[in-house]
Amino acid sequence: MDSLIDVISDSIPAEVLEQIQAWHDSDDYFHHLRGLSTESMSVESVQLSSSLQAIDKSLTQLAVQSRPHLISTSSTLESFTQKFESLTIAVPYLSEVVPDLEMSVAHFSPVNDRGASATLLSNVDKILDILELPTLILTCVRNGYYAEALDLVGHVRRLTIRYRNAKVLMMIQNEVENALLEMTTLLLKLLRENVQLPTAIKVISYLKRLQPFQSSANSTLELQHIYLLSRSIHLRSQLKSLEPLQSLPEKYLKKYIECFREFVFAAVVGFRSIFPKEGASIIDDSEIQTQPPFSSFRKGVLVDGGEQLLSSFIFVVTADLKRTIDSFLPLISDRSTYSSLYLQTIYASQSLARIGGEFWGILAGDSDSQYQAMGDSGNPWITALEKQRDLAKKLKPF
């Protein structure tokens, strides 16, 4: 022990003295102190304080940087402890199972059937093709080859029916059902996009071959409902994209009415083409037969479920159009621009009137009867709607 410790031992706390005595490099440091001059000795404490602060700062940075690793290590250790405890619990059960396993191994006798082995080897390519069917079907689905996927599904079902006791085929069938579930989701999502009529017809035809529609007694009505709901969602998404134009009411209304006319017309024509009435052919532009969807209810005429769904669809989207016009038309200060909006609305109503979707009654609402009762024939909106009704009546059905 260095003699310098004996000199300073009376002036330092006992716990500090114990730390100095336990320090292995204390002799080297005291030797360093003896070699310092008086001036250097006075700044030694300052240097020690600076070194202590630097060490504290380094330790703090290290703790902050290592925090995620420390947390991860703690979590891993906790998980390992839990798994080790579960393993400890499972060991007695394993010791009970091992004798039975040894007995089964002792009584196991491999089949030495060269004929069966030769048959297996000669058909190994066919077996691999069957095992790869779920992956192939899923690949077709994700790449849009739905017809090919359904053909492969039919092949798997035929194999399952032919070899009912084959467990491998049952596993393959389960994987195929999962692929069909993904296919159904993709097809329903596709209906909500801007699809053309040929694509929509194919999508509905694919859905008819899938569960639950294939085994449903009302599959046509369900698909009609899904189609109209999907086109309604698509229409709303298109109209929502016009919201940045709401600061310009005139431009917003023109775009809104044009978008409404285009997509509602396409949706209704698509509905009548995909779901033709019994005994009717696929409808095209030269074969459209119209029947106003609201007049039949007023007259008490019974219509089928599909026509009721279509009428409800036209009523709902037209009611949205009416609310939008009622909200934004008063915001247009230049009344001279009203006439162009009236004519655009007349054109939209005439277009829908060709396919049984005339919406004059919805747009006019109670205000129509009020203005007529008041004898206010000079109201431009009512005048435009009356003109539209007269023009719609003169249209010849295709």
What average pLDDT does the segment 40-54 reach? Answer: 78
Domain assignment of residue 44, yes or no: no
Tally of domains within the chain: 2
User: Is residue 271 within 8 Å of 227, Cβ to Cβ?
Assistant: yes
Cα→Cα distances 267→34, 196, 221, 256, 261, Å: 98, 10, 16, 16, 10
Q: Which of 1-15, 329-343, 345-359, 365-379 has the lowest mean pLDDT?
A: 365-379
Q: Which amino acid is at 23?
A: W
Domain assignment of residue 350, yes or no: yes
How far is the C-alpha of 174 from the C-alpha of 235, rounded, in Å? 37
pLDDT of residue 8: 63
Q: Greater confidence, 65 or 335?
A: 65
Residue 10 is given by DSSP the state G
128 burial type by CB count under 10 A (0-12 exposed, 13-18 middle, 19+ buried): exposed
Domain assignment of residue 314, yes or no: yes
Q: Which helix (H) or strand (E) holds 35?
A: none
Parent domain of 344 = 226-394
Residue 207 is given by DSSP the state H
What average pLDDT does the segment 46-69 reach? Answer: 84
pLDDT of residue 384: 63
Domain assignment of residue 63, yes or no: no
196 burial type by CB count under 10 A (0-12 exposed, 13-18 middle, 19+ buried): exposed
Domain assignment of residue 347, yes or no: yes
What does the block give as tokens for 294?
Answer: 């609201």
pLDDT digits (tens, 9 = 90+) for 212-267: 888 888 888 999 999 999 999 999 999 999 999 999 999 999 999 999 999 999 99
Q: Over 70: is that where the pLDDT of 392 sits?
A: no
356 in the same domain as 275: yes
pLDDT of residue 119: 76
279 in the same domain as 232: yes
Residue whose pair of structure tokens reads 């997509």 in the numeric block? 263
How far is the C-alpha of 354 from the C-alpha of 348, rounded, in Å? 10
Q: Over 70: is that where the pLDDT of 75 sits?
A: yes
Domain endpoint, select from 191, 218, 242 = 191
- In degrees, to the nearest 5, what angle opens at C-alpha 61 toward C-alphas 57 and 65? 170
How far is the C-alpha of 163 from the C-alpha of 166, rounded, in Å? 6
Q: Cβ atoms within 10 A of the Cβ of 278, count?
A: 5
Domain assignment of residue 200, yes or no: no
Among 52-61, 112-121, 262-271, the range of highest mean pLDDT: 262-271
How far is the C-alpha of 211 from the C-alpha of 209, rounded, in Å? 7
Residue 278 is given by DSSP the state T
pLDDT digits (tens, 9 = 90+) for 116-163: 677 778 788 888 889 999 999 999 999 999 999 999 999 999 999 998
- Helix residue ranges per DSSP H, 107-218: 114-122, 124-131, 133-142, 146-162, 167-191, 197-208
Q: Which amino acid is at 347?
A: Y
381 in the same domain as 274: yes
pLDDT digits (tens, 9 = 90+) for 357-382: 777 667 665 444 444 444 445 555 56
Domain assignment of residue 262, yes or no: yes
Domain assignment of residue 151, yes or no: yes
pLDDT of residue 89: 80
Which distant-in-sequence residues (6+ apart) come within 8 Å of 311 by Cβ? 293, 294, 296, 297, 303
146 in the same domain as 231: no
Q: With pLDDT > 70 as the criterion, what percentage of the chain qualifies?
A: 73
370 in the same domain as 317: yes
Phi and psi at residue 263, in whole multiples of 5°? -80, -35
Q: What's the whole-number average pLDDT of the chain?
A: 79
pLDDT of residue 112: 53
Q: Over 60: is that where the pLDDT of 284 sits?
A: no
How far is the C-alpha of 249 from the C-alpha of 246, rounded, in Å? 5
Q: Over 80: is that where the pLDDT of 168 sits?
A: yes
Phi and psi at residue 357, in whole multiples of 5°? -120, 35
